[in-house]
Amino acid sequence: MRYTEVMPAKTEMIHARIDPKLKKRTEAIFSKIGLSTTDAIRLFLTQVELHKGLPFPVYTPNQETVDAMREANEGKGLKEYRSFRELRDRA
């Protein structure tokens, strides 16, 4: 199979605004598995086409989950330990 049979002759550009920290973290993950960000986007879009929708379930969290995430982000209800040994001994 020749390259021209695999990749279409014409391509389209996609421009998206992404949080710089998210971009950096995801690029590090893609790099570990041998993908560029462009490869990962192409893979995602191919999977959307194959599944005729998102290739993973998307859920809206219920209020209990939202409250738990907010508490975790704010550090509410977290116990503090002076050392790992103290944590281990109290568990």
Please state whether 57 falls in left (phi above 0), alpha (psi between -120 and 50) or beta.
beta
pLDDT (0 to 100) of residue 11 = 85
- Structural domains in the chain (count): 1
Examine the pLDDT at 9 and tell me if it is beyond 90: no
Give the domain extent around 27.
3-90
Answer yes or no: are the C-beta atoms of 30 and 40 closer than 8 Å. yes
pLDDT (0 to 100) of residue 90 = 82
Average pLDDT of span 44-59: 95
- Residue 5 tokens read as 């049979």
Answering whether pTM is above 0.95, one says no
The Cα 65–Cα 62 span in angstroms is: 5
- Per-residue pLDDT of 30-43, as tens digits, reads 999 999 999 999 99
pLDDT band of residue 1 (cuts 50, 70, 90) is very low
Q: What is the CATH number of the domain that holds 23?
A: 1.10.1220.10
